């Protein structure tokens, strides 16, 4: 549905007038919903772009396509997940940092295995049950918001426990619940893959 600004303004003014002397400022008429079911124009642009830039086939069966598209945008355009979570990120001859035409390493896309100092990036692709890295949505939210390494047992020593280190969770954790859900939905929709290398 397409409405002009004047249309919304007209409706808002009519509501304001109808409410009479006790009227309060009208509520915003378009709110991006956290489950992606009613998307603003800005969301729709990101969702469309997300689908266009996804480098692998997506399994949309049983999933909310808006969340998948938005998640793709956040993973592929904003979060830089590829650089750390794909090893190597680009195919031979396809590294844009070397002036080559960009070709993403789709065979090992987001399958981790990249060493960053003593830390190895996790495989974010779905396991046999369709869960990204075998994590539930709640576990994923905990890792992203609090930076907790979910493989740690109480008392396990640093540097690997209890927190994730290289992972930029202090930034990514500022994302809204809806955005983190969208990232999770996208990671559930990509194909399973194994790391291309483990260093
Ligand atoms: C600068 C590199 C870097 C970037 C960028 C990055 N990660 Fe990570 N991530 C890591 C590393 C390394 C680990 C594992 C170990 C650690 O941080 O100590 C990790 C761990 C994780 C984990 C925890 C996995 C688990 O189940 O235990 C999740 C989830 C995750 N990353 C998701 C993402 C997503 C989604 C993005 C993009 C929005 C992203 N990461 C971007 C490096 C990165």
User: Could you read off the pLDDT of 120-164 as tens digits, one per residue?
Assistant: 999 999 999 999 999 999 999 999 999 999 999 999 999 999 999
Kindly report the pTM of this predicted structure: 0.84
Measured from the CB, is residue 133 less than 6 Å from ligand 1?
yes
pLDDT at 39: 74
Measured from the CB, is residue 150 less than 6 Å from ligand 1?
yes
pLDDT at 198: 65
**154 alpha carbon to ligand 1 midpoint, in Å?**
21
Q: Give the mean pLDDT of the chain.
A: 86
**196 alpha carbon to ligand 1 midpoint, in Å?**
17
Q: Does pLDDT of 12 surpass 60?
A: no
- Average of pLDDT values for 35-40? 62
Helix, strand, coil tally for the chain in percent (to 5)? 40, 5, 55
Cross-strand partners of 196:
none
**3 alpha carbon to ligand 1 midpoint, in Å?**
40
Measured from the CB, is residue 190 less than 6 Å from ligand 1?
no
Cross-strand partners of 104:
90
Q: Does pLDDT of 17 surpass 90?
A: no
Measured from the CB, is residue 165 less than 6 Å from ligand 1?
yes
Q: Does pLDDT of 71 surpass 80?
A: yes
Lowest mean per-residue pLDDT among 20-34, 59-73, 77-91: 20-34
Q: Does pLDDT of 192 surpass 50?
A: yes
**19 alpha carbon to ligand 1 midpoint, in Å?**
51
Chain centre distance of CA 95: 23
3-state secondary structure of 109: coil
pLDDT at 29: 36
pLDDT at 38: 61
Q: Is the dihedral of CA 80, 86, 88, 94 positive or negative?
A: negative
| Ligand 1 atom with the shortest distance to the CA of 133 | 26
């Amino acid at each position: 549905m397409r409405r002009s600004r004047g249309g919304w303004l007209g409706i808002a003014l009519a509501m304001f007038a109808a409410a009479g002397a006790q009227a309060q400022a009208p509520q915003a008429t378009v709110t991006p919903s956290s489950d992606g079911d009613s998307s603003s124009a800005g969301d729709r642009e990101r969702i469309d772009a997300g689908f266009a830039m996804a480098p692998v086939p997506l399994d949309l069966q049983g999933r909310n396509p808006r969340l998948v598209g938005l998640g793709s945008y956040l993973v592929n355009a904003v979060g830089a997940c590829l650089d750390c979570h794909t090893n190597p990120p680009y195919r031979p001859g396809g590294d844009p940092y070397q002036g080559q035409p960009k070709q993403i390493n789709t065979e090992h896309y987001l399958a981790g295995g990249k060493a960053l100092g003593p830390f190895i990036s996790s495989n974010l692709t779905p396991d046999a049950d369709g869960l990204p890295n075998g994590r539930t949505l709640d576990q994923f939210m905990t890792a992203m918001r609090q930076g907790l390494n979910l493989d740690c047992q109480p008392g396990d020593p640093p540097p690997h426990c209890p927190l994730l280190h290289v992972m930029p969770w202090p930034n990514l954790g500022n994302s809204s619940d809806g955005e983190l859900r969208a990232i999770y939905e996208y990671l559930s929709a990509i194909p399973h893959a194994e790391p291309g290398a483990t260093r």
